[in-house]
Amino acid sequence: MTGNDAAVLIPQETQPRMDERVKTDMGSLAAALDFDAELMLRVKEGDGASFGILLEKHRSPVIHFLYRMVQNQAVAEELAQEVFLRVYRSRESYEPTAKFTTWLFRIATHLALNSLRDGRNRRLEERLDDDSADAPARQVSDRRPSVEEEMVHQARLGEVRRAVAMLPEKQRAAVLMHKYQEMEYSQIAKVLNCSESAVKSLLFRAYETLRARLAHMA
């Protein structure tokens, strides 16, 4: 088909509108591309510094997520190394079809579930209530809690952790992503490779179980 043929099929007054629509769509796509994905695309092009930025930004959240999944700090750190190794190895085939964090936590969840199934965390068993290796250091407030208050707080926190740890694996993963990573249903669904309704069902059952187990703390 020649350019003249196309002009006949597409009225002249319509062509500018179509061009504008294409530009708008491309602009929307660029806006939807999150900064992490842009960094990963730079890594794909050979920019090692961008990978360093991604590693520094996401290493702690990934380790905290993995720790709450496997309940073992040494295993969590080992798995986190594997997560970012896989991210780096996948750089050449990376395409920003979803948010970077969705892709990242899909890898982390897959490794965590495999670790739980092959029993790797049992080979490096730690006390479940050892919070020395837990999430970020607490912010120091102006009013420090008393020793008694701190003991009560730690006891309650330990109960919550144990209750979450006792959930079935997929329910636990869904709760950790929803509650601690503040991920949307759509993101969790992509990570767990299921529908949003399935995610809502997982979370409903998980929260009902937690509510029953922790009723005495209400």
- Checking if the pLDDT of 164 tops 80, the result is yes
d(Cα 137, Cα 176) in Å, to the nearest integer? 18
Pull the structure tokens for residue 108.
């982390």
In a domain, 132, yes or no: no
Whether the CB-CB separation of 191 and 105 falls below 8 Å is answered with yes
pLDDT of residue 161: 84
d(Cα 99, Cα 97) in Å, to the nearest integer? 7
Measured between its terminal Cα atoms, the distance across the chain in Å is 73
Which residue, chain included where needed, has tokens 């929307």? 28
- For 85-120, what is each residue's pLDDT tens digit? 999 999 999 998 888 999 999 999 999 999 988 775
Predicted confidence band at 158 (pLDDT cuts at 50, 70, 90)? confident
- For 51-94, what is each residue's pLDDT tens digit? 999 999 999 999 999 999 998 999 999 999 999 999 999 999 99
Predicted confidence band at 207 (pLDDT cuts at 50, 70, 90)? very high
Counted residue by residue, the chain has a size of 218
The whole domain housing 84 covers 33-125
Predicted confidence band at 157 (pLDDT cuts at 50, 70, 90)? confident
Give the SS3 label for residue 6: helix
In a domain, 162, yes or no: yes
Q: What is the mean pLDDT of the chain?
A: 77
CATH number, domain of 87, equals 1.10.1740.10
Same domain assignment for residues 49 and 105: yes
d(Cα 77, Cα 135) in Å, to the nearest integer? 12
The DSSP letter of residue 135 is S
Predicted confidence band at 202 (pLDDT cuts at 50, 70, 90)? very high
Same domain assignment for residues 157 and 121: no
Cβ partners under 8 Å of residue 31, min gap 6 = none
Same domain assignment for residues 96 and 155: no
Burial of 207 per CB tally in 10 Å (0-12, 13-18, 19+): middle
In a domain, 134, yes or no: no
Q: What is the mean pLDDT of residues 23-37?
A: 56
Same domain assignment for residues 75 and 121: yes
pLDDT of residue 217: 76
Query: In terms of pLDDT, which residue wins out, 201 or 126?
Result: 201
d(Cα 87, Cα 106) in Å, to the nearest integer? 11
| Tally of structural domains, the chain | 2
Predicted confidence band at 150 (pLDDT cuts at 50, 70, 90)? low
pLDDT of residue 147: 63
pLDDT of residue 159: 83
Predicted confidence band at 140 (pLDDT cuts at 50, 70, 90)? very low
In a domain, 7, yes or no: no
Stated pTM of the model: 0.67
Pull the structure tokens for residue 16.
């500018």
Q: Rounded to the nearest 5°, which phi and psi values hold at 10?
A: -110, 110
In a domain, 119, yes or no: yes
